[in-house]
Structure 1
Amino acid sequence: MKRWLSICGVLIVVASVGSWFMWGGSPAANDAKSSNVPSSARQAPDEVIKADGKIPVNPEARMAVEYDDKKLKSSESSYLPGSWATAKTFAMAQGSTLTGYRFGQWDPVWSTRLSGAICSTTRHVTVDGRTAVVAQSGRGGKVNAKSACNSLVVFNVNTGKKMWEVTLPHSDDAYANNMNVTLTRGVAVTAWGSGSAAYDLRQGKKLWETPGRETCNDSGFAGGRDLLALQTCGSPGDDTSYRVQKIDRRTGKPEWTYQVARGVGATYLVSSNPPVIAVAAGADSVTDLIVLDAHGKHRSTMALGVDRYVTDCGGLLFGTVESCHSVIVGSRQVFVGGKGAVEDLFTDRPANSITAFDLDSGKPVRKFKSKARRPMYPIQTSGDQLLAFRASNDGRAPAAVVRIDPKTGTERPFLLFEMPSSPALGEPESVDMTVSHGRVFFRLKEIQGSSKDNDTGLIPGAVGYESAG
């Protein structure tokens, strides 16, 4: 297997060179030099790391890390609820186990088993490599609906070491389908529908807790630069309403409150700074994005319509509040991928595009069209640039992550690579895509057991790429 990967890496480089020149020009070496110093270097160790802005020296890629499951039977499935990347390590969660990999090494360098199955994760990582998960208190590798998710664990992504672990208060009814955990500056915060609690990230000391109320309960939080709380008010059904609050992370006290219009079917937290929420008004899926100002007042509304864009909000497990991973919020614009019809994959028409909405007006200001038969999805922002994944469906051109200048629409290659045979690794609804320190990572949210015609018995679960130059 290792020998095959080495050969594959060489082939990727060779195959990618031609496509690189098709973009016209080199990958801006001066740009790379100026961007290789992570912005996180100016942050405190326990702050949530920002997009580092590092640009690969060359866009031709080699495989940096790979996870293939070897144990699942054809009738089984397994969730991969979270993954994280630092400059040194890629780590992922599966069942009750956390596993870390060094880049260029195919065997794990550390493995940490928790007390029970992992119920919820956060995408945020601190500058010094810490993140948080919530696990069940009982033994076992699968999520059990009867076992409470009441163990909050903070660990180091680079080493797998548990920094601290606490039992959440009054959390007997905390389960994987209502659990949420996030990080903000120096604080880990979690909510489970009928309660919430916050802990000092360094010491594990409880800062505050909010027991369940009869009126409005904390459904979850969005972290990062600031801390937003989504509260569900009233009884389930037609009487349910939602409100969003900005929370002082050290005291738990609200700084402002925004009342979501009644009649909205579901509400999600997209971003804490700037504050952006997604709502489903009169439909099952997200129909609008609402932008608030620094004081919690309405700033703009972005009308998405019904089933026109890929928002990837919600889910049955592993966090349903801070979960709109396909809606990318920048400093001036919000980027959302458009849905393409299935039949478009077999024509010369673009199967997808990305639309940029202005934060102040809420109006679409630019559309970035994909190439023929090449679906394209936004991943994240890096400085003032948008990073987007472009799949390869023609069997010739490599898959790519590209940098797009929102002002001009100019596109440059970030990394070019050959994806594994699993088609789900290129679908935004099925996979979590992350860019960190000039590397690109894909992690399936759920993997299925191997079919009989799979000769290798290996089931792709996660893969990462880095510059070969």
Structure 2
Amino acid sequence: MTQPPPPPPPNEPPQDQPSQDQPSQSQPPQSQPPQGGFGAPQDPPPGGFGAPQDPPPGGFGAPQSPPPGGFGAPTPPPPAQGPGYGYPQAAPPAAPPQQPYGYPQTPPPPAGGPGYGYPGPQQQPQQPPYGYPQQAPYQAPYPTVVQGAGGGRKFNSSVVIIVAAVVAVALIVGGGVLYANSSGDDSRNNSSDTTGGGTGGKDDKDDKGDDTPSGGGGKEKVPSDTSSKVLFQVPAPAVKDDLSVTTVGSWLTDKVYAKSGNAEIVGYDPESGAKLWTIPLPGPVCLASRHTNDADRTAIVYEPAMPTKDAPSHGCSEVAALDLGTGKKLWTKTVKSGDQKISLGNVTVSGNTVAVGSTSGGAGLDISTGKSLWAPKPTDTCYDSGYGGGDALVAVRKCGEYGSNRQLHIQTIDPRSGKVVSEYEMSSGIEYASVVSTNPLVVAADVGDSAGDGSGISDFFSIDNKTGKLLTKISAPGKKYAAKCDGITKIEACSQLVVGNNKLYIPTEEHDGGAEYSRTNEIVAFDLATGKQTGERADAGDGYNISPLRMDGGNVLAYKRPPYDKGGQVVTIDGTSFKETKLLENPATETVRDAETSMLPDYAEIMYSGGRLYMSQVYARKPSSADDTEYLAVVFGTN
């Protein structure tokens, strides 16, 4: 499971082959897009390609010469893994360049080092990027919390939940009016942390383990023409001081595509890109739940002030609930341990509960009111390191000291009361675990640090979340499979894998394809009851690399990263026959492909619904020169 490094700007097609949708024009591989080239979704620059609603004359696809450098040329994104957005640890070093798929690649060095919840000495961290919290000294878990009676997570007054603000004013920008309810398409695709991995939730509410049909039933339709075009794009926010800030978080409802920017959340019309509302924040977003509830509400964690060079972090202490339908911040709170605000490392949503956690404390809060529902029960040696949400709420509870004495308890808990419903105790010595899915319950871990590739996965554990019984253990050697999880710093941060049909779908590592110099891979399935491969395989095809995005009923939606001379694709894989059907194919035009390949599943946020593909960055940085333009998001759609 080699953790892919961020790609460099994609290679040019051969010099004697012009790009498909524009006149032939050479462009150096390292060139960046021109200022204003890709355009803002509301006021695109003259001639801007992919402008929303009313593009200027000669817009996208017109036979005119593109601006020098083309739009969307990627810059190296932040690391795909590491201490996680907003978590108070050092940012990992930048990964080496990577060639586009279709060329041989050099694997990155394995990630290593202790992280989340590690109580002992650590290596000296590197200077984190702008907007990234600094390394905080280790705190004993829950230093002011005393053991409560019953239930395990009853609210304890020693963990003080402080109301910082209650905001109930809709911030509708430019008089924008929210659209009426749509036709009821339930195929929503919420943000998958920093990537396209699915873990249940509203997008997958028809896919609940044993109750899920064994294939079919998908709501995504095959268009008459699968060729896509750029519907709109969002320019990257301005960033000062040649540093970067986090922009993690994107969500999709029937009426809104919402995306985190620099200290704000903005709602866009999902087809035209027209701005519907803006929620301003005093500081950058650190963490974002990948889930929404049935009322289109979600939660974030953010800093209380903007970072500066003198104060690069103010701590990720503020948790807020958002109403994506109205564009309102419902409330903001902090969690304290004694007199100190806790810098939170995890936020998720399950039903009407927001769960936040860290090594120093946590809380369950009502998503509508912010009312405290429960707090994790502390002991001298145990604490909740974080939670996975969606259809159920699962806690990863750590007990014992670091090393061979460590034991992880995987607990399904009632979202409203915090009561433990079931519990599975993992073998001693496993330090980190990630929640892949909460219903059915699947957990990933790197047992004995045997993955060896920084993926965080050597094995998957399929658990009955009603009884806590282990159903099966699935071995997934890093040399064979390409999924990854960041269980060191985050609990719910797995990508390139999905769960449905009582199966686990994961991609293989890429390998030589049939054509000369080509590389490719496949998606394979494991049975969650037996742990065995089912024999089903979906091939990416020569030059492509395929990654699961989410379930669509009993079908699997997947994204295909393209070779150097083609556009990416979205396909649906029938859950019964495993037949692969193309839903969307992006333009092979050089400038479009450059923008697409700067936002890929191993480090960006990717969602697909209703014939539209949403791709966005999780960091923003200052362009390397005044002539360069960077993009926060790009949206493709079929006719």
* TM-score for the superposition, normalised by structure 2: 0.62
Whether the 8 Å contact between 1:345 and 1:393 is mirrored in structure 2 is no
User: Partners of 1:288 and 1:395 in 2: how far apart?
Assistant: 36
Q: CA RMSD in A?
A: 3.1
Tell me if 1:88 matches 2:260: no
CA 1:92–1:70: 2 relative to 1, 3 Å: closer
* Structure 2 residue aligned with 1:388: 558
User: Partners of 2:487 and 2:598 in 1: how far apart?
Assistant: 18
User: Partners of 1:39 and 1:94 in 2: how far apart?
Assistant: 26
Tell me if 1:314 matches 2:486: yes
User: Partners of 2:579 and 2:222 in 1: how far apart?
Assistant: 19
Judging by fraction of residues, say which structure has more helix. 1
Query: How far has the Cα of 1:8 moved from its partner?
Result: 6.6
Whether the 8 Å contact between 2:434 and 2:487 is mirrored in structure 1 is no
Alpha-carbon displacement from aligned partner over 1:103-159 (angstroms, at most 9, x marks no partner): 344563322222333221111112332110012234548996763423221112233
Whether the 8 Å contact between 1:221 and 1:321 is mirrored in structure 2 is yes
Whether the 8 Å contact between 1:195 and 1:211 is mirrored in structure 2 is no
Q: Which secondary structure state, in structure 1, belongs to the residue aligned with residue 607 of structure 2?
A: strand
Query: How far has the Cα of 1:340 moved from its partner?
Result: 1.3
Of the structure 1 ranges 297-306 and 419-428, higher mean CA displacement relative to structure 2 is found in 419-428
Whether the 8 Å contact between 2:505 and 2:526 is mirrored in structure 1 is yes
Of the structure 1 ranges 360-369 and 233-242, higher mean CA displacement relative to structure 2 is found in 233-242
Tell me if 1:299 matches 2:467: no
Of the structure 1 ranges 370-379 and 427-436, higher mean CA displacement relative to structure 2 is found in 427-436
Judging by fraction of residues, say which structure has more strand. 1
Identical counterparts, % of pairs = 25
Q: Which residue of the other structure, out of 351, 355, 368, is the alignment partner of 2:538?
A: 368
CA 1:170–1:305: 2 relative to 1, 3 Å: same
* Structure 2 residue aligned with 1:5: 50
Alpha-carbon displacement from aligned partner over 1:17-48 (angstroms, at most 9, x marks no partner): xxxxxxxxxxxxxxxxxxx753489xxxxx95
Q: Which secondary structure state, in structure 2, belongs to the residue aligned with residue 309 of structure 1?
A: coil
Question: 2:632 corresponds to which letter in structure 1?
Answer: G
* Unmatched segments (≥5 aa) in structure 1: 13-35, 42-46
Alignment of 1:20-35 (within 5 A): none
* Structure 1 residue aligned with 2:631: 460
CA 1:183–1:149: 2 relative to 1, 3 Å: same
* Structure 1 residue aligned with 2:429: 263
CA 1:426–1:164: 2 relative to 1, 3 Å: closer
Q: Which has the higher contact order (CA 8 A, sep 6+)?
A: 2
User: Partners of 2:519 and 2:308 in 1: how far apart?
Assistant: 42
User: Partners of 1:134 and 1:70 in 2: how far apart?
Assistant: 19
User: Partners of 2:259 and 2:613 in 1: how far apart?
Assistant: 14
Whether the 8 Å contact between 2:337 and 2:361 is mirrored in structure 1 is yes
Q: Which residue of the other structure, out of 303, 315, 320, is the alignment partner of 1:136?
A: 303
User: Partners of 1:143 and 1:151 in 2: how far apart?
Assistant: 21
Whether the 8 Å contact between 2:50 and 2:231 is mirrored in structure 1 is no
Question: 2:399 corresponds to which letter in structure 1?
Answer: C
Whether the 8 Å contact between 2:187 and 2:552 is mirrored in structure 1 is no
* Structure 2 residue aligned with 1:157: 324
User: Partners of 1:143 and 1:126 in 2: how far apart?
Assistant: 39
Whether the 8 Å contact between 2:345 and 2:357 is mirrored in structure 1 is yes
User: Partners of 1:372 and 1:333 in 2: how far apart?
Assistant: 26
User: Partners of 1:265 and 1:295 in 2: how far apart?
Assistant: 23
Query: How far has the Cα of 1:83 moved from its partner?
Result: 0.9
Whether the 8 Å contact between 2:336 and 2:342 is mirrored in structure 1 is no
CA 1:152–1:426: 2 relative to 1, 3 Å: closer
Tell me if 1:119 matches 2:286: yes
Question: 1:392 corresponds to which letter in structure 2?
Answer: P
Which protein is bigger by CA-based radius of gyration?
A: 2
Of the structure 1 ranges 425-434 and 402-411, higher mean CA displacement relative to structure 2 is found in 425-434
CA 1:320–1:307: 2 relative to 1, 3 Å: farther
Question: 1:460 corresponds to which letter in structure 2?
Answer: Y
Equivalenced residues, count: 432
Query: How far has the Cα of 1:269 moved from its partner?
Result: 0.8
Tell me if 1:215 matches 2:260: no
Query: How far has the Cα of 1:346 moved from its partner?
Result: 8.1
Q: Which secondary structure state, in structure 2, belongs to the residue aligned with residue 461 of structure 1?
A: strand
